[in-house]
Chain A
Amino acid sequence: MRFAEECQIVPLIIPVDLDDGANASDWVSMKNYNHLSIIILAGIGTNGSDLVITLDQATTVAGAGTKTLNMTEIHHKVGATALNAVSLFTRVTQTAANGYDTDGIDDAENESMYIIEVDRDELDGDNDFDCLQLNIAKAGATKLGGAIAVLSEPRYNGADAVGD
């Protein structure tokens, strides 16, 4: 699958030290896409610098009406310092909650990758919520990381995902 041509790849959090501050991503619009995959990649931190990941939804990419988008499922690879030795993802489910705290899987002490899969109908479509934002709380100690969004199942070919 040629992702550059068949999907829309959008930056969420430009690679940064996640300890510089709270990390609110750019907003992406799912108006023209049925599915969104969020990929987070992070380096090793220090004990206690576990990532806390949350999602928000809004009616525009300017963040109008921002409210929580609950998470029930996350896929992760967490390496015992070396992520390249981890082959397959581990799928974690939870009762719908405002975010996912990686403390339980010792993210801070490891390299890690997370994927969050979101269908458009998980948003509050009845009230015109079709935009989404990823947030990663301030890490607590130096930890480099970045995140991208891959939007798939487009309504049209070449559909835009960064405007309303």
Chain B
Amino acid sequence: MRIAEECQVVAGIIPVDLQTAANPGDWVSMKNYDHLSIIVYTGVGTDDDDEVITLDQATNVAAAGTKTLNIKEIFHKVGDTTVADVSLFTRVTQTAANGYDTVAIDGAENEAIYVIEIDRGELDGDNDFDCVQVNVADVGGNAMIGCAFYILSEPRYAGIEAIGN
């Protein structure tokens, strides 16, 4: 699958030290895509500086009407410092909640990849919510470099954009 041509890959959080401040991702629009895969990717941090990931939804990419988009499923690879040795993802489910705290899987002490899969039907479409933002809270007082990507798939049309309304 030629992702550059068949999907839309968008920068969510440009690589940054996640302890600098809260890390709101850019907004992406699902108006023209049925599915969104959010990939959060982090290096090793320090005990207790676990990433807390949340999602918001809005009616446009300027964040109108922002409200929580609950998370009930997350996939992760968390390496015992070395995520390269982890082959397959672990799927975690939870009661729909405002975010996912990686403390339970020691996100802070390990390299990690998280994938969150979202169908457009999970958003409040009845009220025109079709935009999504990923957020990673300030991890604490120690350095942890991380970033996030969005991959939008199942386009309504070929070659459509995902960063405008």
Contacts and interface: CB of A to CB of B under 8 A. Distances in A.
Query: Top 6 nearest A-B pairs by Cβ distance?
Result: A144-B15, A4-B75, A152-B1, A75-B4, A87-B161, A26-B84
A161 interface: yes
B111 A41 contact: no
A3 B37 contact: yes
B11 interface: yes
B145 to A, nearest CB: 4
B153 interface: yes
Given A16-B145, A35-B1, A144-B16, A4 B87 contact: no
Contacts of A117: 2-5
A75 B5 CA distance: 9
Q: Which of B4, B84, B164 is packed against the most chain A CB atoms within 10 Å?
A: B4
A2 B15 contact: no
B2 A35 contact: yes
Interface of B: 1-5, 7, 9-11, 14-17, 26, 35, 37, 39, 41-44, 75, 77, 83-89, 91, 111, 113, 115, 117, 145-147, 149, 151, 153-154, 159, 161-164
Contacts of B26: 84
A17 B129 CA distance: 36
Contacts of A88: 159, 161
Interface of A: 1-5, 7, 9-11, 14-17, 26, 35, 37, 39, 41-44, 75, 77, 83-89, 91, 111, 113, 115, 117, 144-146, 148, 150, 152-153, 158, 160-163
B1 to A, nearest CB: 4
Q: Which of A14, A75, A146, A148 is packed against the most chain B CB atoms within 10 Å?
A: A14
Contact of A163 (B5, B16, B87, B146): B87
A80 B56 CA distance: 26
B117 A39 contact: no
A15 to B, nearest CB: 4
Given A4-B75, A144-B15, A9 B39 contact: yes
A145 B14 CA distance: 8
A26 to B, nearest CB: 4
Contacts of B86: 162
26 contacts: A9-B115, A11-B111, A11-B113, A14-B41, A14-B83, A35-B1, A37-B1, A39-B9, A41-B14, A41-B147, A43-B14, A83-B14, A86-B163, A87-B162, A87-B163, A87-B164, A88-B161, A115-B9, A117-B4, A144-B14, A144-B17, A146-B147, A148-B149, A150-B151, A153-B1, A160-B87
